Amino acid sequence: MLAMVVLGSGCAGGQSRSLLDAAAAEQSQILATHRILVATTRAPAAEPAEMFSGARGDALSFARVDVTIPQGHQSGVLERPRNGQRRDAARHFAAGEIGVFPAAPDFSAALRESLARTDGRALVFVHGYRTAFDSSVYRAAQIVHDSGYAGTAVLFSWASTGRTVDYIYDNNSATIARDGLEETLRMVRAAGARRIDVVAHSMGNWVTMEALRQIEIGQDNDASGILGDVVLASPDIDVDVFKSQLRRMGTPKRPFFVLVSRDDRALLVSSIIAGNRPRVGDYDKDDELANLGVIVVDVSGLSSGDRLNHARFADNPLLVQLLGDRLNEDDSLGGDASQITGRIERLAQGFGQTIGTAAEIIITTPLEVISVAVGQ
């Protein structure tokens, strides 16, 4: 039974690894194009069109990918070909142009140029387990597009093989990548960022929390001073480890947002692999986490485009728009749950039946617990 669940679990799917395999589309068939700047701990792929593999590199590498969004795109959906089908830019997310930066200074120059155009705003996305490089690029583009994020998009892609059976390998790769993410955040800061938002998913939260912990306890923690929102979606972290990380870091200057789901099947498998230890993403004691200075958002009641209920943050239209609404504001919402509640209610009215029937979002802060009804 466990084997059947494992075979269906993970954070990404699809067999194609090439970024240049798509059939071309007319410009009228393209809804938008987003440039994703990439910092990665992956090794270069043997096939140039794949850019990077699941093997671990010796140092950070840097790239850029221009991702096109098909005209028929629906919010919360990452349109991709079925297994065996060819990617078609008219119907699927596709790479329009790719490039590798020869060295860190070239990447920094691209960052500086982009940040100058986006008022110094940067979003760093950290993907999760079982995610090949091409899938991480497309997910980053989907989040940027559906959230309406207006800043510079940076993908931090660590060395996941994209294979379900490599959970331990991926976990070790995530640990190795914490120094690379710390370096990336410092590079974004040095390139002129005035605010850095971070969105992490699944095992990517382990990389993120370790990197932020290193920055916070280091002698030179200037990068933490410009952190905007940190959104931890479905964290695949042992809950005791997470508590120890927060205690060592201290109360965040801006509360972290932790998105949890009680019905997350992928995290159920992770907890079994870890000796039946609860993961943060499906932990049922929100008050314990909130008392450490985070805002816990229980989204179990919302619909999910993922049958494992593991990627609601990106595939539920309300949540991805709420994410963008949050990221595109400087200081809105703050730590006040009543403000968050009002924002959710206003957005929910615009989505109606797409949210689900009689659903709710439960928000737990250090001061209060609020249940917000959404849908019809």
Residue 58 pLDDT: 95
User: Residue 141 to residues 68, 224, 347: CA-CA distances in angstroms?
Assistant: 8, 25, 22
Write down the CATH number for the domain with range 2-8+45-334: 3.40.50.1820
Residue 11 pLDDT: 53
Instruction: Dig out the tokens for 307 from the structure.
Output: 């049958």
Strand order in the sheet with 152-157: 94-101, 52-70, 30-44, 152-157, 121-126, 195-201, 227-233, 256-260, 294-298, 359-364, 369-374
Q: How many residues does the chain have?
A: 376
CA angle 213, 219, 222 (to 5 degrees): 75
Q: Are 269 and 227 in contact (CB under 8 A)?
A: no
Residue 354 pLDDT: 47
pLDDT, one tens digit for every residue, the chain (376 residues): 344 344 344 454 446 689 998 999 999 999 999 999 999 999 999 999 999 999 999 999 999 999 999 999 999 999 999 887 899 999 999 999 999 999 999 999 999 999 999 999 999 999 999 999 999 999 999 999 999 999 999 999 999 999 989 999 999 999 999 999 999 999 999 999 999 999 999 999 999 999 999 998 886 666 667 899 999 999 999 999 999 999 999 888 888 999 999 999 999 999 998 888 999 999 999 999 999 999 999 999 888 888 899 999 999 888 888 888 888 876 543 445 566 666 666 666 555 444 445 578 899 988 888 888 776 5
Report residue 320 CA to chain centroid gap. Answer: 11
Residue 367 class from Cβ within 10 Å (0-12 exposed, 13-18 middle, 19+ buried)?
exposed
Q: Torsion angle, CA of 52/93/302/271, rounded to 10 degrees? A: -20
Residue 366 pLDDT: 86
Q: What is the pTM of this model?
A: 0.92
User: What's the CA gap between 70 and 93, in Å, rounded?
Assistant: 6
Residue 72 pLDDT: 97
Q: Torsion angle, CA of 201/253/211/151, rounded to 10 degrees? A: 60
Q: Are 25 and 88 in contact (CB under 8 A)?
A: yes
Q: What are the boundaries of each domain within the chain?
A: 2-8+45-334
